[in-house]
């Protein structure tokens, strides 16, 4: 991990050097760093590769046009790395709207409020998530984009040049979808397992309600539902209206609710511990075929209950519910398949055994 440190106080700079050396020795780690004493020097090397930045705001600049805030603004525009403001005057930070509420991307720390050791520990944990390796400029995604440009774009460009009837802004969308498709294909086979956080987009990407949205009732934050109405019925037409005025939703039930249902239906489980039954449920045992597991996070699971369906008016959804997140396309296909399979079952008469 490489950190850009912008600090004009010589004593503080010495502390950074000593603390990083001690941290590296203790953790068998390799934090590299570059210290710049003013914003002008920092701005000259921002294009270099860094995984994090620690910025002092009050740099006592000779030129009033230069400041720690200018460095932060430049990093935000040119890099995708976490920024830690470590300063005696953190409230002098000029807010960047896009970073408001992003506690991992920008953190304000008053000097001596937190030890340098704790700061390096936090930055190391962030770095180990891989976020800067993937999302930083010159990260994995940028390398794939380079490959797309050199390897795949020739055919695409040739095709688009032969279609003057397609508007330029639409051509840009075609290229964007083309690139996104290649990135998805290249990344989806890199690991045999997915993490639950990959199932959800929070907040939802699409501006309007759509299939796979998870709804939370405003007045009852523990009550969740998932939209099952086909996306084609929910798309707004040119007149701003949809094909439907009501939306089909299914209840999401916590594992504790499923547990109660299972115990009520299986009296032979009454003497079995709840922990053991929950483990069995997560393995797909004891539960009816109208339940589909939906992991919300590492510690909590919900189950879609296809037997608890209801139709909600679109206005009711827009006024009384919050779109908490939406299910990614990859996992949504499986949910819709299971929903269709459950209601598409065909019974046959019982036959005499001959």
Please determine, looking at this structure, whether the domain spanning 200-344 carries the CATH number 3.40.1000.10.
Answer: no
* Residue 299 banded pLDDT, cuts 50, 70, 90: low
Distance of alpha carbon 90 from alpha carbon 73, whole angstroms: 15
Domain spans of the chain, in order of start: 2-136, 140-189, 200-344
Average pLDDT over residues 169-190: 87
Distance of alpha carbon 161 from alpha carbon 307, whole angstroms: 52
pLDDT at position 157 over 90: no
Residue in this structure with the two tokens 């032979």, named with its chain if needed: 268
pLDDT at position 202 over 70: yes
Quote the pLDDT of residue 64: 67
Q: What percent of the chain has pLDDT over 70?
A: 97
Complete edge-to-edge strand list for the sheet that includes strand 321-327: 200-201, 321-327, 213-217, 220-227, 246-254, 301-313, 291-295
Residues 6+ positions from 338 with CB-CB distance below 8 Å = 292, 306
pLDDT at position 313 over 90: yes
Quote the pLDDT of residue 282: 75
What are the pLDDT digits (tens) for 314-333?
999 999 999 999 999 888 99
Quote the pLDDT of residue 102: 86
Distance of alpha carbon 280 from alpha carbon 274, whole angstroms: 10
Q: What percent of the chain has pLDDT over 90?
A: 40
Average pLDDT over residues 175-198: 84
| Options 3.30.70.1230, 3.40.50.2300, 3.30.450.20, 1.10.940.10; CATH of 2-136 | 3.40.50.2300
What are the pLDDT digits (tens) for 46-97?
989 899 999 999 887 766 667 899 999 999 988 889 999 999 989 889 999 9
Strands 52-55 and 106-110: unpaired
Neighbours of 144 (CB within 10 A): 15
Q: Mutual orientation of helices 255-265 and 274-282 as an angle, nearest 10°?
A: 100
* Residue 300 banded pLDDT, cuts 50, 70, 90: low
Quote the pLDDT of residue 197: 81
Out of 14-18, 26-30, 58-62, 133-137, give the one with best mean pLDDT. 14-18
Quote the pLDDT of residue 80: 86
Q: Are 39 and 87 within 8 A, CB to CB?
A: no
Quote the pLDDT of residue 262: 83
* Residue 252 banded pLDDT, cuts 50, 70, 90: very high
Distance of alpha carbon 122 from alpha carbon 107, whole angstroms: 11
- Please provide the DSSP assignment of 324-343 as one string: EEEE-HHHHHHHHHHHHHHH
Residues 6+ positions from 318 with CB-CB distance below 8 Å = 209
Summary mean pLDDT of the chain:
87
Quote the pLDDT of residue 104: 86
**Helices (H), strands (E): how many in the chain?**
13, 12
Burial of 71 (0-12, 13-18, 19+ CB in 10 A): buried
Average pLDDT over residues 236-246: 89
């Amino acid at each position: 991990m490489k950190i850009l440190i912008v600090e004009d106080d010589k004593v503080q700079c010495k502390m950074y050097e000593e603390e990083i050396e001690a941290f590296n020795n203790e953790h068998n780690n390799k934090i590299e760093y570059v210290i710049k004493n003013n914003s002008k020097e920092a701005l000259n090397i921002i294009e270099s590769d860094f995984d994090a930045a620690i910025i002092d705001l009050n740099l006592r600049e000779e030129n009033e046009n230069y400041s720690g805030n200018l460095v932060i603004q430049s990093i935000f525009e040119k890099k995708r790395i976490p920024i830690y403001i470590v300063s005696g005057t953190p409230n002098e930070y000029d807010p960047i709207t896009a970073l408001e509420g992003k506690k991992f991307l920008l953190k304000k720390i008053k000097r001596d409020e937190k030890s340098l050791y704790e700061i390096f520990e936090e930055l190391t944990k962030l770095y180990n998530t891989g976020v800067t390796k993937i999302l930083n400029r010159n990260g994995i995604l940028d390398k794939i984009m380079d490959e797309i440009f050199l390897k795949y774009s020739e055919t695409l460009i040739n095709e688009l040049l032969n279609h003057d009837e397609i508007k330029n802004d639409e051509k840009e969308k075609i290229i964007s979808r083309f690139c996104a498709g290649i990135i998805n294909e290249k990344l989806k086979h890199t690991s045999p397992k997915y993490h639950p956080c990959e199932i959800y987009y929070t907040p939802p990407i699409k501006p309007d309600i759509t299939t796979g949205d998870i709804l939370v009732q405003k007045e009852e934050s523990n009550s969740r539902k998932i939209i099952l109405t086909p996306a084609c019925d929910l798309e707004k037409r040119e007149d701003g209206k949809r094909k439907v005025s009501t939306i089909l939703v299914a209840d999401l039930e916590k594992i504790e609710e499923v547990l109660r249902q299972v115990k009520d239906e299986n009296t032979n489980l009454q003497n079995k511990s709840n922990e053991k039954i929950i483990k069995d449920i997560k393995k797909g045992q004891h539960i009816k075929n109208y339940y589909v597991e939906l992991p919300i996070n590492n510690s909590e699971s919900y189950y879609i209950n296809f037997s608890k369906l209801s139709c909600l008016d679109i206005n009711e959804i827009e006024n009384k519910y919050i779109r908490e997140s939406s299910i990614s396309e990859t996992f949504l296909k499986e949910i819709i398949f299971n929903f269709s399979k459950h209601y598409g079952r065909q019974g046959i008469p019982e036959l005499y055994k001959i």
